[in-house]
Chain A
Amino acid sequence: MDKFRMIFQFLQSNQESFMNGICGIMALASAQMYSAFDFNCPCLPHYNLAYGLGILLVPPFILFLLGFVLNNNVSMLAEEWRRPLGQRGKDPSVLRYMFCSMAQRAMIAPVVWVSVTLLDGKCITCAFCTSVPVETLGNASHSGLSQGEIKRVLARIPCKEIYDGQELIANEVAVRYLRCISQALGWCFVLLMTTLAFLVRSLRPCFTQAAFLKSRYWSHYIDIERKLFDEMCAEHARSFAKVCIQQFFEGMSTDLAATRCHPPRKAPADVREAAEKLLGITDQATMNTALKSWHRCKPPLHLHPPAIPSGNGWAGEEQPPVHPPVPRRETAAYYSRV
C-alpha cells in the first residue's frame, strides 16, 4: 500500500514530466505520419490549391481534436463544468487553468505537422505553383500562350514527368523558388511559435503567480479527489461483494444446518473486516443514493470535525480560519522531509 502511495505521489508530482513525455511522443508521431504519407499533387489548375492547403491545414485540426480526445483530463474538466453547484461553488479560474493546460498540450502535434510540411515544401509547391512570377523567372511573352494555357502548364510544375513548359519557365527554377518561400515561411512559423510559447511562460510569474498557484493546486485536487473516490468505491464494492457472498453461503448453510442440526459457522476474520469497510452502506438503494448525491451535491471543502456541512463553497475565498493560523502555517512552511 505504501509502495503504491509512493508511485502515486511520484507520478502526481511529476505529472508535468509525464504529460511532457506524451507531448513528445505525439510530436514524433506527427512527424512520422507526415513522412509516411504519400503526397500526390493533382497537377490541375484549381485542384492544386485545394489539395495543397487541405493537406497543410486539415490534418493539424484533426490532430488537435485527437489531442483533446486522448487526454484523460477532458472528462474531468467536463464533469467539473457541468456538475450542479450543491454545497461547493465553482471557480471559473480553475476551469480556465485546466482548459488552457490541455489546449497547450494539444497544440504541439499540429504545430509540428505544419512546421514539417512547410519545411519540406511539397504542399506549398503544389498549392502555389500557378502563382509563380513567370515574368521575372521565365519567358512569359516569348511563348505566346493565353493565360488559361499558362496556368495549365504551370499547374504541372510539381509533376516533373508530365511537365512540358521548359521554354516558359524551367522546372528546377520554379521548384527552387517555391521551396525557398516555403522553407522561409516554415522557419518563421517555428520562430513565432517558440517566441509565443516563451513569452506565455515567462510573463506568467510577472503577473498572476498567486492566482496560478491556487488554480494549479485545486485542479490537481479535483483530479486526485476523483481518483481517490473511484478507489474507495472499488474497495467498497469489493467488501460489499465479499459480505454479500458470505451472507449467501451463510444463508445456504443455515438452511442446511436447520435440516441437519449443525451449528452455523462463525464468519471468518477477513469478512468481518470487509463488513467494517462498508461504511454503513449495505444495500443497493443506499449505494445509488450515495453515488447520486456525490454527483449532485459534492461536499464543501471544509474538514472541521462538526460533520454538518457548513456551506463553504469555491466562491468563499476569504473565510477566516477556525484554528489560530499563524503558528501552524509556519510549521507547515518550514517542515522539510529531505
Chain B
Amino acid sequence: MECFRMIFQYFQSNSESVMNGICGLLALASVKMYTSFDFSCPCLPRYNMAYGLGIMFVPPIALFFCSLLLNRQSLVMLEEWRRPQGRRKKDLAVIRYMCSSILQRAMVAPVVWVIVTLLDGKCLICAFSSSVDPENFVGFANASPVQVQQLLAKVPCKDDELMRNNTSRKAVSRYLRCWSQALGWSILLILIVAAFLARWLRPCFKQATLLQARHWSNYIDIEQKIFEETCCEHSRLFAHKCILHFFENMQQEIKQHSFNLPREEEGAEGEEDLLRGITDQGQVNKLLKMWYYEKPPL
C-alpha cells in the first residue's frame, strides 16, 4: 500500500524523467523502424529523387507528430494556453518554457531518423545518382545524355542486369555514400555542439526567470494530475452514496427498518468530508465548469 503510494508520488513528481524515457524509446523505435524498413529504390529517372527525399523527410514529420501525441505535457500546455483568464493570470514565460521543452523532446526522434539515414547512405545514393557529373566517371563519359540518365538512375540497384559488373557504378555509389556520411557526421557534430553551448551558456542569461518558469510548469502539470485523481475519488464516493441511497429507498418501499443506518451515519461523516459538500449532478457540473473557466488564483 505504501509502495503504491510511493510509486504514484514518484511518477507525479518526476514527469520530466518519464518524458525523457518516452523520448529515448521513440529514438530507439525510430532506429528500429529504419533497419526493418525494406528500402527499394525504383531506379527510374524522375522517381529516384522523389523516393529518396521522401524517405528521408516524410517519416521524420510523422515521428514528430507521434512524439507530440505521446507527450502528455503538450496537452497540458495547450490547455493552459487556451484557458480563459478567470482569476488566475497567464504567464507567457511559463507557456514558452513548456513549449520549448516539448519541441526539444519531440525533435529527437526525427533528427535520429535523418542522421541514421544519412550515415547509412542509401537514400542519398538513390536521390542523387542522376545528378552526378558523368564526366568524372569512366563508364558513363562516352554515352548519349539520355542513356547516361538511364544508366545513372540504375546505379542504386546492384542486381540490375545492366549494372551487375559495372565498376563505374561502384565508383558513383562510393562517391555519393562518402558525401552522405560526411553530411551525416557534420549535422551530428553541429547539433551536439549547439546543445552543449545551450546547456553551458544558459545559466548566464535569465537564470531566475528560468527557475520560476520551470517551477510553475511542473506545478501546472501536477495540479492537473491531482485534479483528475480527486475527481476519480469523488466519483467513487458519489457512486457509493448513490447506491446506498438506492438501497435505502428500497427498504422504505418494502417498509422494513434498516438497522445499518446508525453505523452508516458515522462512516458517512468521514465520507461527507471527502465529498466536500458536492452531492448532486448540477453541483458537479458547475464545479467542472468553474475549474475550466476560473481557475483559483495562486
User: Does B92 sit at the interface, judged by CB under 8 A?
Assistant: no
Does A262 interact with chain B (Cβ within 8 Å)?
no
Contact B250 A332 (CB under 8 A): no
A328 CB contact (under 8 Å) in B160, B256, B278 = B278
B42 in contact with A177 (CB, 8 Å): yes
Q: 10 pairs across A/B with beta carbons < 8 Å?
A: A3-B4, A12-B236, A177-B47, A179-B42, A190-B59, A190-B62, A201-B75, A214-B285, A281-B254, A316-B281
Given A191-B58, A224-B239, A290-B250; A12-B282 close (CB under 8 Å)? no
Given A277-B260, A279-B258, A325-B283, answer yes or no on A309-B236 (Cβ-Cβ < 8 Å).
Answer: no
Q: Quick one: given A177-B44, A180-B51, A201-B75, are A335 and B236 in contact (CB under 8 Å)?
A: no
Q: Determine if A281 and B44 form an interchain contact, defined as CB atoms under 8 angstroms apart.
A: no
- CB-CB under 8 A from A75, the residues of chain B are none
Whether, in the assembled complex, A142 has its beta carbon less than 8 Å from a beta carbon of chain B, the answer is: no
Q: Which residues of B lie under 8 Å from residue A210 when comparing CB positions?
A: 288-289, 292-293
A188 to B51, CA, bound (A): 12
B74 interfacial by beta-carbon distance below 8 Å:
yes
- On chain B, the number of residues with a Cβ less than 8 Å from chain A's Cβ atoms is 89
Q: Are A302 and B280 in contact (CB under 8 A)?
A: yes
Indicate whether A120 reaches chain B with its CB closer than 8 angstroms: yes
In the assembled complex, A260 has its CB within 8 A of some CB on chain B: no
**Which residues 163-217 of A have a CB within 8 angstroms of B?**
170, 172-173, 176-177, 179-180, 183-184, 187-188, 190-191, 194-195, 197-198, 201-202, 205-206, 209-210, 213-214, 217
- Say if the beta carbon of A314 comes within 8 Å of chain B: yes
Does any Cβ of B come within 8 Å of A331's Cβ?
yes
- Interface hit among B63-71, B134-142, B180-188, B195-203: B63-71
| A-B CB contacts (within 8 Å), total count | 241
Q: A176-B42, A316-B281 are in contact. Are A281 and B250 (CB under 8 A)?
A: yes
Q: 9 closest Cβ contacts across the A-B interface?
A: A319-B282, A301-B281, A303-B279, A180-B42, A225-B239, A328-B277, A280-B251, A194-B65, A302-B280
- The smallest beta-carbon distance between A335 and chain B, in angstroms, is 7
A180 to chain B, nearest CB (A): 4
Q: CA–CA, A336 to B222, complex, Å?
A: 11
Kindly list 15 other residue pairs between chains A and B, CB separation below 8 angstroms, not including A197-B65, A206-B82, A321-B280. Answer: A6-B1, A13-B225, A170-B161, A176-B157, A179-B40, A180-B42, A184-B51, A209-B82, A214-B285, A280-B247, A280-B256, A289-B254, A303-B241, A312-B281, A329-B286
Q: Which of A194, A228, A300, A304 meets B69, CB within 8 Å?
A: A194
* B280 vs chain A, min Cβ distance (A): 4
Given the known A-B contacts A9-B232, A209-B82, A321-B286, are A338 and B59 also in contact in the complex, defined by CB atoms under 8 Å? no
B289: which A residues are within 8 A, CB to CB?
210, 213-214
Contact B69 A119 (CB under 8 A): no
Contact of A213 among B82, B235, B256, B291 (CB under 8 A): B291
Knowing A170-B161, A184-B54, A205-B79 are in contact, say whether A332-B38 is a contact too (CB < 8 A).
Answer: no
A3→B80 CA distance, assembly (Å): 34
The interface-forming segment of B5-13, B115-123, B165-173, B209-217 is B5-13
Bound together, the chains give a CA A151 to CA B96 distance in angstroms of 60
Q: Does A38 contact B (CB under 8 A)?
A: no
Judge if B275 is at the interface, Cβ distance under 8 Å: yes
Cα A8 to Cα B286 in complex, Å, equals: 26
Q: Which residues of A contact B (CB under 8 A)?
A: 2-3, 6-10, 12-13, 119-121, 137, 170, 172-173, 176-177, 179-180, 183-184, 187-188, 190-191, 194-195, 197-198, 201-202, 205-206, 209-210, 213-214, 217, 220-221, 224-225, 228-229, 232, 276-277, 279-282, 286, 289-290, 293-294, 299-304, 307, 309, 312, 314, 316-323, 325, 328-338
State whether the Cβ of B91 lies closer than 8 Å to any Cβ in chain A. Answer: no
Decide: A307 near B235, CB < 8 A? Known: A10-B8, A210-B288, A328-B277: no
Chain A residues with CB under 8 A of B285: 214, 317
Collect the chain B residues with CB atoms within 8 Å of residue A335's CB. 230, 276
Within the complex, what minimum Cβ distance (angstroms) separates A254 from chain B?
23
Distance in Å: Cβ of A295 to nearest Cβ of chain B = 12
Contact of B239 among A121, A221, A279, A309 (CB under 8 A): A221
Centre residue among A303, A316, A335 by max chain B CB count within 10 A = A303
CB distance from A288 to the nearest CB of B (A): 12
Closest approach, in angstroms, between the C-beta of B102 and any C-beta of chain A?
11
User: In the complex, A44 Cα to B281 Cα: how many Å?
Assistant: 64
